[in-house]
Amino acid sequence: MTQQAREAILPGATIGILGGGQLGRMMAMAARSLGYRIQVMDPDPACPARPVVDACFEAGWNDALTSAYMARGCDVVTLEIEQVSIECLDAASRFAPVRPGAALLTVIQDRIDQKNWLVKHGFPVGDFRAVRSLEELQTAVRELGGRCYLKSATGGYDGRGQAKVGFTGEASEEEIRQAWQDVGTCACIAEKALELDKEVSVMVARSPSGETKAFPAALNHHENQILVWSVIPAPIAETLATQAKQIAEEIADTFALEGLLAVEMFVTRDGKLLVNELAPRPHNSYHASERACSTSQFEQAIRAVCDLPLGNVEVLRPAAIVNLLGDTWLHAAEEDRTPRFDEALAVPDVHLHLYEKAKPRKGRKMGHLSAIGATAEEAVARVLEAAKRL
């Protein structure tokens, strides 16, 4: 795609972020380093971004009035969560450019629209069916071979809003009915459960003037549908890594993306690369970019939305992260102690990142550990050793 003249929003300007969770916090920290001011909007007045921003507006994802109010004081607005309502984005866009914009968000917010968009533009995806009733689900499960992931069309993350069927023998009518209940008896997508060899992701940034840069692929390890650890660069065949990067760049260009887009992909046992899902924001699987790469995903997000030249995405040294869930805190509390961060930090080249979330809950992302290594394998071994010591 041809590049247009830049209209950079220079340091000193104010960036608005819809969402003040850990992704908003880390974007805000990168923006501060570059000399920007930051405002966020989040339903939680004690959100992780709050301590590092200039202003925090307490409002839900449907609060178009507050979104507009925040945007009035901003030079550009971005987001850290894709569930912000389109009304909020439209309201903000009356006062400042919103990047990524409502057109892209409309497609991504709904898993059915997202999958249909990918198919329409020729990107590879696994077999799926859009499902709007229990009867349709029963048919879909049969047609997809009996073993499926059911995902609500809107609102899910970290495996929430999902159910699995047919994993313990043939799916009975009762199991299918239960799954339909579990995801909330709403519009869903039923996906054939794929035999996975690996999961990878590619973070791509594109600026409004058309510059596009994709980071080298990350390798991601999930358990119970939630990311446990991730490493950059993915230790995978070069042809596969190149193919993954190309797919991400093509998606970004087709959308005329302004900002970041994470493309989650499956590598199946028979060697196929399939797109799983898209996230138009920083992504958990690229937290290690802060250690691995010349430019972190958070700085790249700011450069992209401000139309600054994109940073070099080269990997300088392999780095890995492991997520720290509330479970670690709860487990320590049972033993009447706090997590042993000092022990974890004694592992060479390990670093701690906490999001200042007050209440640990099971499955809640509280922070992560990162480590560099001479190889991807060594970086992973180090973070896992450090996590074990907590």
Could you tell which of ligand ADP, Mg ion, none binds residue 193, using a CB distance below 5 to 8 A set by kind? ligand ADP
Closest by CA position to 282, among listed 16, 30, 27, 18:
27
Dist. CA 365–CA 321, nearest whole Å? 13
Of residues 285 through 324, those in contact with ligand ADP by CB under 6 A are: none
Q: How far is the CB of 373 from ligand ADP (least distance, A)?
A: 24
Could you tell which of ligand ADP, Mg ion, none binds residue 211, using a CB distance below 5 to 8 A set by kind? none
The mark string for 249-278 relative to Mg ion (x by CB under 5 A, - otherwise) is: ---------------x--------------
Specify the stretch interacting with ligand ADP by CB under 6 A; choose among 52-60, 86-94, 155-163, 294-302. Answer: 155-163
* Residue 358 DSSP class: S
Query: Site for ligand ADP (CB under 6 A): which residue of 80, 110, 175, 199?
Result: 199
Closest by CA position to 200, among listed 129, 283, 280:
283
Tokens 């080269």 belong to which residue? 314
Q: Which residues contact 6 (CB under 8 A, 6 or more apart)?
A: 207, 209, 307, 308, 309
**CB nearer to ligand ADP: pick between 350 and 380:** 380
Distances (CA, A) of 385 to 137, 231, 320, 328: 43, 15, 12, 14
Q: How far is the CB of 167 from Mg ion (least distance, A)?
A: 18
- What φ, ψ does residue 337 adopt, rounded to 5°? -150, 180
Of residues 175 through 194, those in contact with ligand ADP by CB under 6 A are: 191, 193-194
The mark string for 244-283 relative to ligand ADP (x by CB under 6 A, - otherwise) is: --------------------x-----------xx------
Closest by CA position to 165, among listed 181, 139, 141, 189:
141
**CB nearer to ligand ADP: pick between 80 and 191:** 191
Q: Token pair for residue 339?
A: 């997590």
Distances (CA, A) of 5 to 101, 204, 209, 290, 311: 19, 20, 6, 29, 18
Dist. CA 104–CA 38, nearest whole Å? 23
Query: Site for ligand ADP (CB under 6 A): which residue of 157, 167, 178, 374?
Result: 157
**CB nearer to Mg ion: pick between 63 and 277:** 277
The mark string for 213-242 relative to ligand ADP (x by CB under 6 A, - otherwise) is: ---------x--x-----------------
Q: How far is the CB of 127 from ligand ADP (least distance, A)?
A: 9
Query: Site for ligand ADP (CB under 6 A): which residue of 16, 20, 100, 156?
Result: 156
**CB nearer to ligand ADP: pick between 199 and 290:** 199
**CB nearer to Mg ion: pick between 75 and 110:** 110
Checking DSSP bridges between strand 37-42 and strand 14-18, what pairing results, if any?
Answer: parallel
Asked if residue 149 binds ligand ADP (CB under 6 A), the reply is yes
Dist. CA 11–CA 19, nearest whole Å? 21
Could you tell which of ligand ADP, Mg ion, none binds residue 196, using a CB distance below 5 to 8 A set by kind? ligand ADP
Specify the stretch interacting with ligand ADP by CB under 6 A; choose among 7-15, 64-72, 156-164, 304-312. Answer: 156-164
Closest by CA position to 277, among listed 132, 166, 148, 112:
112
H/E stretch holding 149: strand 148-152
Q: How far is the CB of 241 from ligand ADP (least distance, A)?
A: 18
Asked if residue 197 binds ligand ADP (CB under 6 A), the reply is no
Q: Which residues contact 382 (CB under 8 A, 6 or more apart)?
A: 320, 347, 348, 349, 350, 371, 372, 373
Specify the stretch interacting with ligand ADP by CB under 6 A; choose among 61-69, 151-159, 229-237, 329-337. Answer: 151-159
Asked if residue 82 binds ligand ADP (CB under 6 A), the reply is no
**CB nearer to Mg ion: pick between 92 and 234:** 234
Residue pair 362/327 in contact (Cβ under 8 Å)? The answer is yes
Residue pair 136/122 in contact (Cβ under 8 Å)? The answer is no
Beta partners for 104? none
**CB nearer to ligand ADP: pick between 218 and 386:** 218
**CB nearer to Mg ion: pick between 25 and 151:** 151
Binding site for ligand ADP (CB under 6 A): 126, 149, 151, 156-159, 191, 193-194, 196, 199, 222, 225, 264, 276-277
